[in-house]
Amino acid sequence: MELKRYFIELAYNGSSYHGWQRQPNAISVQQVLEEALSKLIRESIILLGAGRTDTGVHALQMFAHFDVSQEIANPKELVFLLNGFLKADIAIKGIRRVKPNAHARFDAIARDYEYHISTAKDPFHAPLHYYLKNQPDVDLMNQAAKILLLHEDFQCFSRTNTDVKTFLCNIKKAEWKQEGSSLVFYICANRFLRNMVRAIVGTLLEIGCKKREVTDMEKVIKSKDRGEAGFSAPAHGLYLSRIEYPQNIFMD
């Protein structure tokens, strides 16, 4: 029997979860969603996500794929049932049939992240933004962010104990925008290393707060040493915001 493969699109507030991926002794988004799908579809469902998000990190758009023995007759109805079954901090956006070899992780051609900072105390932003008492210099941070586009090896922003085979990433966009009392960092690449965005944000904030020079960014990248980069910005300000796929993997 040929299995049918589906992509599921979702968003989540990661505050209550130990990241996307299943953990042996902690609750994760993957575990909660697998259990909900298995109950509603009445099959044992295993999800494979587009990537990992760490503990406390959020997703405005996340994808995962799963296989089932029977075609899902009404994906929209399953979305409705899932949203009624799940807690308010996970929302299902859609379920689409894809080609049998489509892969949520390896077929992604671009990923976007956002990092949100509040420069004024705000009770509504507090759990979901990183609060900074002092306004950093946005122009200096954008000058330094442009240097990222000139490089491909980002070992300096990767976790030290990692099993990745390559540190090469193609960053297509990296820029800060002031939006009222919020400061948002937008970054897009074909792939990211674990903790990479938070390490980049921490380094840029040190430049924006004039603890480092703009030219230090070049030195940090060339060092290939995580110890030379800045602090890791707190998880609660980070959002996986978009994942792009080629349209020819979808069957509907």
User: Which residues touch 80 (CB under 8 Å, ≥6 apart)?
Assistant: none
Which secondary structure element, helix H or strand E, spans residue 176, and what is its range? Answer: strand 171-179
User: Which residues touch 217 (CB under 8 Å, ≥6 apart)?
Assistant: 144, 147, 148, 203, 204, 207
| 109 residue type, one letter | I
Nearest to 197 by CA among 150, 163, 229, 223: 229
With contact defined as beta carbons under 8 Å apart, do 204 and 144 qualify? yes
User: Which residues touch 178 (CB under 8 Å, ≥6 apart)?
Assistant: 138
Helix (H, G, I), strand (E, B) or coil at 200: helix
Q: Is 122 a catalytic residue?
A: no
Which member of 54, 107, 112, 216 is catalytic?
Answer: 54
Task: Quickly list DSSP for 68-99.
Answer: ESS--S-HHHHHHHHHHHS-TTEEEEEEEEE-
| 224 residue type, one letter | K
Q: Which residues are catalytic?
A: 54
